[in-house]
Structure 1
Amino acid sequence: MRRVEQVMGFPVSLRVDDERVPGAAVAAVFAWLHEADARFSPFRPDSEVCRLDRGETGPGEVSADLAEILALCEEYRVATGGAFDVRLPGRGLDPCAVVKGWSVQRAADLLRSAGVERFCLNAGGDVVTAGGPWRVGIRHPERADRICAVLDITDAAVATSACYERGAHILDARTGLPATGLLSVTIVAPTLTEADMTATAAFALGEEGVAWASARPGCEVFAVDSARRVLRTQRVPLAA
Protein backbone atom coordinates (compact mmCIF):
# COMPACT_ATOMS: atom_id res chain seq x y z
CA MET A 1 0.00 0.00 0.00
CA ARG A 2 1.25 3.47 -0.88
CA ARG A 3 -0.33 6.82 -0.08
CA VAL A 4 0.89 10.41 -0.43
CA GLU A 5 -0.61 13.62 0.93
CA GLN A 6 0.58 17.20 1.26
CA VAL A 7 0.80 18.11 4.95
CA MET A 8 2.68 20.90 6.76
CA GLY A 9 3.90 22.28 3.44
CA PHE A 10 5.65 19.11 2.23
CA PRO A 11 4.69 15.69 0.82
CA VAL A 12 4.21 12.86 3.28
CA SER A 13 4.37 9.39 1.78
CA LEU A 14 3.54 6.10 3.46
CA ARG A 15 4.51 2.69 2.13
CA VAL A 16 3.26 -0.41 3.94
CA ASP A 17 4.63 -3.79 2.90
CA ASP A 18 2.53 -5.97 5.23
CA GLU A 19 0.11 -8.36 3.56
CA ARG A 20 -2.78 -6.99 5.59
CA VAL A 21 -3.05 -3.20 5.69
CA PRO A 22 -5.47 -1.78 8.30
CA GLY A 23 -7.19 1.01 6.40
CA ALA A 24 -8.36 2.70 9.59
CA ALA A 25 -4.78 2.98 10.85
CA VAL A 26 -3.59 4.51 7.59
CA ALA A 27 -6.43 7.03 7.70
CA ALA A 28 -5.58 7.81 11.33
CA VAL A 29 -1.97 8.57 10.37
CA PHE A 30 -2.90 11.31 7.93
CA ALA A 31 -5.74 12.61 10.08
CA TRP A 32 -3.29 13.03 12.97
CA LEU A 33 -0.72 14.83 10.81
CA HIS A 34 -3.35 17.29 9.58
CA GLU A 35 -4.49 17.79 13.18
CA ALA A 36 -0.91 18.45 14.33
CA ASP A 37 -0.46 21.01 11.56
CA ALA A 38 -3.65 22.81 12.57
CA ARG A 39 -2.76 22.83 16.27
CA PHE A 40 0.94 23.60 16.25
CA SER A 41 1.66 25.62 13.12
CA PRO A 42 3.08 29.12 13.71
CA PHE A 43 1.54 30.13 10.37
CA ARG A 44 -2.10 29.53 11.35
CA PRO A 45 -3.48 32.41 13.46
CA ASP A 46 -5.96 30.11 15.21
CA SER A 47 -3.41 27.44 16.19
CA GLU A 48 -2.59 26.71 19.80
CA VAL A 49 0.97 27.88 19.19
CA CYS A 50 -0.14 31.26 17.87
CA ARG A 51 -2.66 31.74 20.67
CA LEU A 52 0.08 31.06 23.22
CA ASP A 53 2.48 33.40 21.45
CA ARG A 54 -0.12 36.20 21.51
CA GLY A 55 -0.70 35.68 25.22
CA GLU A 56 -4.27 34.47 24.78
CA THR A 57 -3.31 31.22 26.51
CA GLY A 58 -1.15 31.10 29.61
CA PRO A 59 1.85 28.74 29.89
CA GLY A 60 -0.07 26.66 32.42
CA GLU A 61 -3.09 26.33 30.15
CA VAL A 62 -1.53 24.62 27.13
CA SER A 63 -2.47 21.10 26.11
CA ALA A 64 -0.37 18.15 27.23
CA ASP A 65 0.89 17.77 23.66
CA LEU A 66 2.10 21.35 23.40
CA ALA A 67 3.62 21.13 26.88
CA GLU A 68 5.62 18.10 25.68
CA ILE A 69 6.76 19.98 22.56
CA LEU A 70 7.86 23.01 24.58
CA ALA A 71 9.72 20.78 27.04
CA LEU A 72 11.65 19.23 24.15
CA CYS A 73 12.43 22.72 22.83
CA GLU A 74 13.86 23.71 26.19
CA GLU A 75 15.83 20.47 26.54
CA TYR A 76 17.63 21.07 23.25
CA ARG A 77 18.11 24.77 23.91
CA VAL A 78 19.96 23.94 27.10
CA ALA A 79 21.87 21.04 25.53
CA THR A 80 23.20 23.26 22.72
CA GLY A 81 24.10 26.20 24.92
CA GLY A 82 21.42 28.30 23.24
CA ALA A 83 22.33 27.58 19.60
CA PHE A 84 18.97 25.86 19.12
CA ASP A 85 16.05 28.02 20.21
CA VAL A 86 12.46 28.28 19.01
CA ARG A 87 12.12 31.76 20.49
CA LEU A 88 14.29 34.29 18.70
CA PRO A 89 14.28 38.05 19.36
CA GLY A 90 11.88 39.82 17.03
CA ARG A 91 10.26 36.58 15.91
CA GLY A 92 7.25 34.64 17.10
CA LEU A 93 7.30 31.25 18.74
CA ASP A 94 8.22 28.73 16.01
CA PRO A 95 8.47 25.09 17.17
CA CYS A 96 8.40 23.65 13.62
CA ALA A 97 11.85 22.08 14.09
CA VAL A 98 10.33 19.98 16.86
CA VAL A 99 6.77 19.48 15.65
CA LYS A 100 7.68 17.78 12.37
CA GLY A 101 9.69 14.87 13.76
CA TRP A 102 7.57 14.59 16.90
CA SER A 103 4.26 14.41 15.02
CA VAL A 104 5.52 12.01 12.34
CA GLN A 105 6.96 9.73 15.03
CA ARG A 106 3.58 9.68 16.74
CA ALA A 107 1.99 8.78 13.41
CA ALA A 108 4.43 5.88 13.11
CA ASP A 109 3.51 4.79 16.62
CA LEU A 110 -0.14 4.67 15.55
CA LEU A 111 0.79 2.21 12.81
CA ARG A 112 2.79 0.04 15.19
CA SER A 113 -0.08 0.04 17.69
CA ALA A 114 -2.35 -1.22 14.91
CA GLY A 115 -0.01 -4.15 14.30
CA VAL A 116 1.73 -2.90 11.15
CA GLU A 117 5.20 -4.47 11.17
CA ARG A 118 6.85 -3.21 7.99
CA PHE A 119 6.44 0.36 6.75
CA CYS A 120 8.32 3.47 5.70
CA LEU A 121 6.87 6.89 6.53
CA ASN A 122 8.64 9.69 4.66
CA ALA A 123 7.92 13.30 5.62
CA GLY A 124 9.67 15.65 3.23
CA GLY A 125 12.81 13.51 3.22
CA ASP A 126 12.83 12.64 6.92
CA VAL A 127 12.06 8.97 7.36
CA VAL A 128 10.87 6.61 10.10
CA THR A 129 10.79 2.89 9.43
CA ALA A 130 9.54 -0.36 10.90
CA GLY A 131 10.99 -3.67 9.83
CA GLY A 132 13.62 -3.59 7.17
CA PRO A 133 16.14 -3.16 5.95
CA TRP A 134 15.09 -0.05 4.06
CA ARG A 135 17.53 1.80 1.81
CA VAL A 136 17.54 5.56 2.42
CA GLY A 137 19.58 7.88 0.21
CA ILE A 138 21.31 11.01 1.54
CA ARG A 139 21.08 13.82 -1.00
CA HIS A 140 24.24 15.54 -2.12
CA PRO A 141 24.12 18.98 -0.46
CA GLU A 142 25.07 20.81 -3.67
CA ARG A 143 23.83 18.53 -6.47
CA ALA A 144 20.13 17.75 -6.48
CA ASP A 145 20.64 14.95 -9.00
CA ARG A 146 23.15 13.05 -6.86
CA ILE A 147 23.32 11.21 -3.56
CA CYS A 148 26.43 11.05 -1.42
CA ALA A 149 25.56 7.93 0.58
CA VAL A 150 22.92 5.23 1.02
CA LEU A 151 21.90 3.93 4.43
CA ASP A 152 20.48 0.54 5.39
CA ILE A 153 17.85 1.23 8.05
CA THR A 154 15.89 -1.23 10.18
CA ASP A 155 13.47 -0.03 12.88
CA ALA A 156 15.03 3.43 12.99
CA ALA A 157 14.64 6.99 11.77
CA VAL A 158 16.69 9.30 9.55
CA ALA A 159 16.58 13.10 9.36
CA THR A 160 18.70 15.59 7.44
CA SER A 161 19.16 19.31 8.01
CA ALA A 162 20.59 21.45 5.22
CA CYS A 163 20.00 24.65 3.28
CA TYR A 164 19.52 23.24 -0.22
CA GLU A 165 15.69 23.33 -0.15
CA ARG A 166 14.79 26.40 1.93
CA GLY A 167 17.96 28.47 1.89
CA ALA A 168 19.62 29.72 5.09
CA HIS A 169 16.59 29.10 7.30
CA ILE A 170 18.42 27.52 10.25
CA LEU A 171 19.81 30.16 12.59
CA ASP A 172 22.40 29.97 15.32
CA ALA A 173 20.27 31.49 18.09
CA ARG A 174 23.42 32.58 19.93
CA THR A 175 24.11 35.11 17.17
CA GLY A 176 20.76 35.40 15.40
CA LEU A 177 22.60 34.75 12.11
CA PRO A 178 22.34 31.84 9.67
CA ALA A 179 24.27 28.82 10.88
CA THR A 180 27.59 28.18 9.14
CA GLY A 181 30.14 25.40 9.09
CA LEU A 182 28.03 22.54 7.72
CA LEU A 183 26.43 21.96 4.33
CA SER A 184 24.29 19.10 5.61
CA VAL A 185 23.98 16.81 8.58
CA THR A 186 22.09 13.52 8.67
CA ILE A 187 21.20 11.76 11.91
CA VAL A 188 20.14 8.14 12.39
CA ALA A 189 18.33 7.60 15.69
CA PRO A 190 15.76 5.29 17.28
CA THR A 191 12.95 7.83 16.74
CA LEU A 192 12.29 10.64 14.29
CA THR A 193 11.74 12.99 17.23
CA GLU A 194 15.38 12.49 18.21
CA ALA A 195 16.74 12.36 14.67
CA ASP A 196 15.01 15.51 13.46
CA MET A 197 15.74 17.64 16.51
CA THR A 198 19.34 16.48 16.72
CA ALA A 199 19.93 17.21 13.03
CA THR A 200 18.54 20.73 13.33
CA ALA A 201 20.41 21.44 16.55
CA ALA A 202 23.68 20.08 15.15
CA PHE A 203 23.33 22.24 12.04
CA ALA A 204 22.69 25.30 14.23
CA LEU A 205 25.87 24.53 16.18
CA GLY A 206 27.95 24.47 13.00
CA GLU A 207 31.26 22.60 12.98
CA GLU A 208 30.96 21.68 16.64
CA GLY A 209 27.57 20.13 15.93
CA VAL A 210 29.04 16.90 14.55
CA ALA A 211 30.86 16.05 17.77
CA TRP A 212 27.86 17.20 19.82
CA ALA A 213 25.45 14.97 17.87
CA SER A 214 27.86 12.04 17.96
CA ALA A 215 27.80 12.18 21.75
CA ARG A 216 23.99 11.94 21.90
CA PRO A 217 22.89 8.44 23.02
CA GLY A 218 21.74 6.28 20.10
CA CYS A 219 22.64 8.84 17.41
CA GLU A 220 24.81 8.17 14.37
CA VAL A 221 26.00 11.03 12.15
CA PHE A 222 26.82 11.59 8.47
CA ALA A 223 27.73 15.21 7.71
CA VAL A 224 29.34 17.32 5.01
CA ASP A 225 31.09 20.45 6.25
CA SER A 226 31.65 23.73 4.42
CA ALA A 227 35.05 22.48 3.24
CA ARG A 228 33.26 19.56 1.51
CA ARG A 229 34.68 17.00 3.93
CA VAL A 230 32.58 14.01 4.96
CA LEU A 231 32.39 13.53 8.74
CA ARG A 232 30.70 10.44 10.12
CA THR A 233 30.49 8.14 13.08
CA GLN A 234 31.91 4.64 12.67
CA ARG A 235 28.58 2.90 13.16
CA VAL A 236 26.49 4.94 10.73
CA PRO A 237 24.68 2.18 8.75
CA LEU A 238 26.08 2.72 5.25
CA ALA A 239 24.85 0.31 2.59
CA ALA A 240 27.46 -1.97 1.08
Structure 2
Amino acid sequence: MTEPVEAPPALRHAEEVMGTVVSFDVRGGEPEAVRSALREAVAGLHRVNEVFSTYREDSQVSRLARGELTVEECDPEVAEVLALGAEAERLSNGWFSTRYEGRTDPTGIVKGWAVQRAAERLVGTGASGVSVNGGGDVQMYGVPGPHRPWRVGVSDPWRPGGLAAVISAAGAEELAVATSGTAERGAHIIDPRTGRPAVTDLVAVTVVGPRLTWVDCWATAAFAMGSRQALDWLESLPDVEALLITAGDEVRCTGGLAARLG
Protein backbone atom coordinates (compact mmCIF):
# COMPACT_ATOMS: atom_id res chain seq x y z
CA MET A 1 0.00 0.00 0.00
CA THR A 2 1.30 3.42 -0.92
CA GLU A 3 1.77 5.67 2.05
CA PRO A 4 -0.13 8.96 1.79
CA VAL A 5 2.07 11.96 1.12
CA GLU A 6 1.92 14.38 4.01
CA ALA A 7 1.01 17.98 3.38
CA PRO A 8 3.84 20.43 4.07
CA PRO A 9 3.66 22.37 7.35
CA ALA A 10 1.62 25.57 7.21
CA LEU A 11 2.42 28.99 8.62
CA ARG A 12 -0.61 31.26 8.90
CA HIS A 13 -0.87 34.86 9.98
CA ALA A 14 -3.50 37.63 9.81
CA GLU A 15 -2.53 41.32 9.92
CA GLU A 16 -4.77 44.36 10.18
CA VAL A 17 -3.37 46.90 7.74
CA MET A 18 -4.50 49.22 4.93
CA GLY A 19 -8.02 49.31 6.33
CA THR A 20 -8.53 45.56 5.93
CA VAL A 21 -7.16 42.20 7.12
CA VAL A 22 -4.40 40.57 5.11
CA SER A 23 -4.19 36.81 5.69
CA PHE A 24 -1.10 34.73 4.90
CA ASP A 25 -1.02 30.96 4.32
CA VAL A 26 2.45 29.62 3.55
CA ARG A 27 3.15 25.91 3.00
CA GLY A 28 6.57 24.31 3.27
CA GLY A 29 9.89 26.08 2.96
CA GLU A 30 12.70 26.51 5.47
CA PRO A 31 10.89 27.58 8.67
CA GLU A 32 13.21 30.38 9.74
CA ALA A 33 13.45 31.76 6.21
CA VAL A 34 9.64 31.73 5.94
CA ARG A 35 9.21 33.49 9.29
CA SER A 36 11.79 36.11 8.34
CA ALA A 37 10.14 36.71 4.95
CA LEU A 38 6.74 36.94 6.63
CA ARG A 39 8.03 39.63 8.99
CA GLU A 40 9.42 41.54 6.00
CA ALA A 41 6.15 41.14 4.07
CA VAL A 42 4.10 42.46 7.00
CA ALA A 43 6.47 45.37 7.54
CA GLY A 44 6.25 46.12 3.83
CA LEU A 45 2.45 46.32 3.99
CA HIS A 46 2.60 48.79 6.87
CA ARG A 47 5.15 50.85 4.95
CA VAL A 48 2.80 50.89 1.94
CA ASN A 49 0.05 52.19 4.21
CA GLU A 50 2.32 54.96 5.52
CA VAL A 51 3.31 56.04 2.01
CA PHE A 52 0.06 55.60 0.07
CA SER A 53 -2.84 56.11 2.49
CA THR A 54 -5.13 58.93 1.40
CA TYR A 55 -6.54 59.01 4.94
CA ARG A 56 -3.20 60.06 6.44
CA GLU A 57 -2.41 63.74 6.05
CA ASP A 58 1.31 63.00 6.37
CA SER A 59 1.49 60.21 3.77
CA GLN A 60 3.60 60.86 0.70
CA VAL A 61 0.58 60.43 -1.57
CA SER A 62 -1.44 62.98 0.42
CA ARG A 63 1.45 65.42 0.32
CA LEU A 64 1.91 64.73 -3.41
CA ALA A 65 -1.77 65.48 -4.02
CA ARG A 66 -1.42 68.80 -2.16
CA GLY A 67 1.65 69.73 -4.20
CA GLU A 68 4.01 69.57 -1.22
CA LEU A 69 6.12 66.83 -2.84
CA THR A 70 7.03 65.90 -6.39
CA VAL A 71 7.00 62.30 -7.56
CA GLU A 72 10.80 62.41 -7.65
CA GLU A 73 10.88 63.38 -3.97
CA CYS A 74 8.69 60.41 -2.98
CA ASP A 75 9.83 56.83 -2.40
CA PRO A 76 10.57 55.06 -5.73
CA GLU A 77 7.50 52.86 -5.18
CA VAL A 78 5.25 55.88 -5.74
CA ALA A 79 6.55 56.37 -9.28
CA GLU A 80 6.27 52.60 -9.85
CA VAL A 81 2.63 52.47 -8.76
CA LEU A 82 1.67 55.59 -10.73
CA ALA A 83 3.31 54.10 -13.85
CA LEU A 84 1.34 50.88 -13.37
CA GLY A 85 -1.82 52.93 -12.91
CA ALA A 86 -1.14 54.84 -16.12
CA GLU A 87 -0.74 51.55 -17.98
CA ALA A 88 -4.00 50.27 -16.47
CA GLU A 89 -5.73 53.45 -17.61
CA ARG A 90 -4.37 52.98 -21.14
CA LEU A 91 -5.36 49.33 -21.37
CA SER A 92 -8.85 50.01 -19.99
CA ASN A 93 -9.48 52.95 -22.32
CA GLY A 94 -9.75 55.29 -19.37
CA TRP A 95 -12.15 53.21 -17.27
CA PHE A 96 -9.45 52.85 -14.60
CA SER A 97 -7.82 55.96 -13.18
CA THR A 98 -5.38 56.99 -10.45
CA ARG A 99 -6.98 60.41 -10.15
CA TYR A 100 -10.05 61.44 -8.18
CA GLU A 101 -11.56 64.92 -8.15
CA GLY A 102 -8.43 66.20 -9.89
CA ARG A 103 -6.06 64.77 -7.25
CA THR A 104 -3.58 61.90 -7.44
CA ASP A 105 -5.24 58.89 -5.80
CA PRO A 106 -3.78 55.45 -6.58
CA THR A 107 -6.09 53.70 -4.09
CA GLY A 108 -7.56 51.47 -6.81
CA ILE A 109 -4.23 49.82 -7.59
CA VAL A 110 -2.25 49.97 -4.35
CA LYS A 111 -3.85 47.10 -2.43
CA GLY A 112 -3.55 44.56 -5.23
CA TRP A 113 0.03 45.61 -5.93
CA ALA A 114 0.95 45.46 -2.23
CA VAL A 115 -0.62 42.04 -1.64
CA GLN A 116 1.04 40.62 -4.75
CA ARG A 117 4.40 42.01 -3.61
CA ALA A 118 3.92 40.53 -0.14
CA ALA A 119 3.24 37.11 -1.67
CA GLU A 120 6.30 37.38 -3.89
CA ARG A 121 8.51 37.96 -0.83
CA LEU A 122 7.49 34.53 0.46
CA VAL A 123 7.97 32.63 -2.80
CA GLY A 124 11.76 32.88 -2.55
CA THR A 125 11.87 30.95 0.74
CA GLY A 126 11.44 27.57 -0.92
CA ALA A 127 7.79 27.42 0.07
CA SER A 128 5.74 24.98 -2.00
CA GLY A 129 2.63 27.13 -1.74
CA VAL A 130 1.81 30.74 -0.86
CA SER A 131 -1.60 32.39 -0.58
CA VAL A 132 -2.07 35.99 0.54
CA ASN A 133 -5.61 37.31 0.89
CA GLY A 134 -6.14 41.04 1.18
CA GLY A 135 -9.77 41.66 2.08
CA GLY A 136 -11.03 39.01 -0.35
CA ASP A 137 -8.55 39.65 -3.17
CA VAL A 138 -6.06 36.78 -3.34
CA GLN A 139 -2.62 36.10 -4.83
CA MET A 140 -1.57 32.44 -4.95
CA TYR A 141 1.61 30.62 -5.91
CA GLY A 142 2.36 26.89 -6.04
CA VAL A 143 0.11 24.42 -4.25
CA PRO A 144 -0.97 23.92 -0.62
CA GLY A 145 -0.26 20.19 -0.68
CA PRO A 146 0.24 17.11 -2.86
CA HIS A 147 -2.43 16.87 -5.58
CA ARG A 148 -4.31 19.80 -4.04
CA PRO A 149 -4.70 23.20 -5.73
CA TRP A 150 -5.51 26.46 -4.02
CA ARG A 151 -9.24 27.21 -4.22
CA VAL A 152 -11.02 30.54 -3.68
CA GLY A 153 -14.72 30.97 -3.01
CA VAL A 154 -16.47 33.88 -4.74
CA SER A 155 -19.16 35.39 -2.52
CA ASP A 156 -22.68 35.54 -3.89
CA PRO A 157 -23.77 39.21 -3.60
CA TRP A 158 -27.45 38.20 -3.52
CA ARG A 159 -27.15 35.40 -0.94
CA PRO A 160 -25.07 36.38 2.12
CA GLY A 161 -22.90 33.49 3.21
CA GLY A 162 -23.35 31.71 -0.11
CA LEU A 163 -20.91 31.24 -2.97
CA ALA A 164 -21.44 32.22 -6.58
CA ALA A 165 -18.49 30.09 -7.70
CA VAL A 166 -15.27 28.43 -6.56
CA ILE A 167 -12.09 29.28 -8.48
CA SER A 168 -9.38 26.61 -8.69
CA ALA A 169 -5.70 27.34 -9.28
CA ALA A 170 -5.11 23.79 -10.57
CA GLY A 171 -2.30 23.72 -13.12
CA ALA A 172 -1.27 27.33 -12.51
CA GLU A 173 2.04 28.31 -10.95
CA GLU A 174 0.52 31.68 -10.09
CA LEU A 175 -3.07 32.85 -9.98
CA ALA A 176 -4.93 35.83 -8.57
CA VAL A 177 -8.61 36.51 -7.93
CA ALA A 178 -10.14 39.95 -7.32
CA THR A 179 -13.73 41.11 -6.92
CA SER A 180 -15.26 44.57 -7.19
CA GLY A 181 -18.87 45.34 -6.40
CA THR A 182 -21.41 47.08 -4.23
CA ALA A 183 -22.53 44.25 -1.94
CA GLU A 184 -20.19 45.00 0.98
CA ARG A 185 -19.06 48.61 0.55
CA GLY A 186 -21.96 50.16 -1.32
CA ALA A 187 -21.48 52.48 -4.30
CA HIS A 188 -17.77 53.21 -3.82
CA ILE A 189 -16.48 52.56 -7.35
CA ILE A 190 -16.01 55.82 -9.24
CA ASP A 191 -16.77 56.29 -12.90
CA PRO A 192 -13.66 58.20 -14.09
CA ARG A 193 -15.68 59.90 -16.81
CA THR A 194 -18.12 61.55 -14.42
CA GLY A 195 -16.21 61.60 -11.12
CA ARG A 196 -19.30 60.13 -9.44
CA PRO A 197 -20.11 56.60 -8.23
CA ALA A 198 -20.53 54.26 -11.19
CA VAL A 199 -24.14 53.38 -12.00
CA THR A 200 -24.26 50.20 -14.08
CA ASP A 201 -26.24 46.97 -14.38
CA LEU A 202 -23.62 45.12 -12.31
CA VAL A 203 -23.45 44.24 -8.63
CA ALA A 204 -20.19 42.25 -8.73
CA VAL A 205 -17.28 41.48 -11.04
CA THR A 206 -14.71 38.80 -10.26
CA VAL A 207 -11.57 38.67 -12.41
CA VAL A 208 -9.04 35.83 -12.52
CA GLY A 209 -5.51 36.06 -13.92
CA PRO A 210 -1.84 35.60 -13.01
CA ARG A 211 -1.15 38.86 -11.13
CA LEU A 212 -3.28 40.56 -8.51
CA THR A 213 -2.02 44.03 -9.44
CA TRP A 214 -3.78 43.75 -12.77
CA VAL A 215 -6.87 41.67 -12.00
CA ASP A 216 -7.76 44.09 -9.19
CA CYS A 217 -7.60 46.99 -11.68
CA TRP A 218 -9.57 45.06 -14.29
CA ALA A 219 -12.34 44.21 -11.82
CA THR A 220 -12.71 47.89 -10.93
CA ALA A 221 -12.66 49.05 -14.55
CA ALA A 222 -15.09 46.34 -15.67
CA PHE A 223 -17.59 47.27 -12.98
CA ALA A 224 -17.52 50.90 -14.07
CA MET A 225 -18.11 49.88 -17.71
CA GLY A 226 -21.23 47.79 -17.19
CA SER A 227 -21.73 44.19 -18.25
CA ARG A 228 -22.08 44.47 -22.04
CA GLN A 229 -18.94 46.50 -22.65
CA ALA A 230 -16.99 44.85 -19.83
CA LEU A 231 -17.49 41.29 -21.07
CA ASP A 232 -16.18 42.06 -24.55
CA TRP A 233 -13.22 43.96 -23.10
CA LEU A 234 -12.34 41.23 -20.59
CA GLU A 235 -12.46 38.62 -23.36
CA SER A 236 -9.82 40.65 -25.22
CA LEU A 237 -7.31 40.55 -22.34
CA PRO A 238 -4.74 37.73 -22.42
CA ASP A 239 -4.78 35.14 -19.61
CA VAL A 240 -7.84 36.74 -18.00
CA GLU A 241 -11.22 35.21 -17.15
CA ALA A 242 -14.14 36.79 -15.35
CA LEU A 243 -17.55 36.27 -13.78
CA LEU A 244 -20.09 39.11 -13.80
CA ILE A 245 -23.28 39.23 -11.74
CA THR A 246 -25.94 41.74 -12.73
CA ALA A 247 -28.57 43.61 -10.77
CA GLY A 248 -31.08 41.21 -12.30
CA ASP A 249 -29.22 38.24 -10.74
CA GLU A 250 -27.94 37.16 -14.15
CA VAL A 251 -24.51 35.53 -14.31
CA ARG A 252 -22.27 36.22 -17.30
CA CYS A 253 -18.75 34.91 -17.77
CA THR A 254 -15.87 34.86 -20.21
CA GLY A 255 -15.49 31.85 -22.45
CA GLY A 256 -12.60 30.22 -20.60
CA LEU A 257 -13.85 30.64 -17.04
CA ALA A 258 -15.27 27.11 -16.86
CA ALA A 259 -11.74 25.71 -16.89
CA ARG A 260 -11.03 27.62 -13.68
CA LEU A 261 -14.10 26.47 -11.74
CA GLY A 262 -13.88 23.77 -9.10
TM-score, with structure 1 as normaliser: 0.93
- The answer on 1:17 being equivalent to 2:33 is no
* Residue aligning to 2:65: 53
Q: Deviations over 1:80-108 (max 9, x none)?
A: 3332222133x643211100011111111
* Residue aligning to 1:109: 120
C-alpha separation between the residues in 2 aligned to 1:115 and 1:66?
29
* Residue aligning to 1:157: 176
After TM superposition, the structure 1 stretch with the greater mean CA deviation from structure 2, 13-22 or 62-71, is: 13-22
The offset of 1:55, in angstroms, is: 0.5
* Residue aligning to 2:206: 186
After TM superposition, the structure 1 stretch with the greater mean CA deviation from structure 2, 15-24 or 3-12, is: 15-24
Match of 2:158 among 107, 124, 142: 142
The offset of 1:19, in angstroms, is: 5.7
C-alpha separation between the residues in 2 aligned to 1:152 and 1:83?
28
Aligned length: 239
C-alpha separation between the residues in 1 aligned to 2:233 and 2:75?
31
Say whether the 8 Å CA contact 2:37–2:122 is kept in structure 1.
yes
**SS in structure 1 opposite 2:14?**
strand
* Residue aligning to 2:5: none
**SS in structure 1 opposite 2:244?**
strand
**Percent identity between the aligned chains?**
41
Matching residue's letter, 2:235: S
In structure 2, runs of 5+ residues without a counterpart are 1-10, 144-148
Q: Deviations over 1:164-188 (max 9, x none)?
A: 1111000111122322121111111
Say whether the 8 Å CA contact 2:234–2:254 is kept in structure 1.
no
* Residue aligning to 2:135: 124
The offset of 1:52, in angstroms, is: 0.6
- The answer on 1:216 being equivalent to 2:227 is no
Taking only aligned residues, the RMSD between alpha carbons, in angstroms, comes to: 1.6
Say whether the 8 Å CA contact 1:84–1:201 is kept in structure 2.
yes
Say whether the 8 Å CA contact 2:96–2:221 is kept in structure 1.
yes
Match of 1:38 among 36, 50, 54: 50
Say whether the 8 Å CA contact 1:42–1:93 is kept in structure 2.
no
**SS in structure 1 opposite 2:206?**
strand
C-alpha separation between the residues in 2 aligned to 1:55 and 1:99?
20
Match of 2:186 among 167, 172, 184: 167
C-alpha separation between the residues in 2 aligned to 1:226 and 1:14?
33
Larger radius of gyration: 2
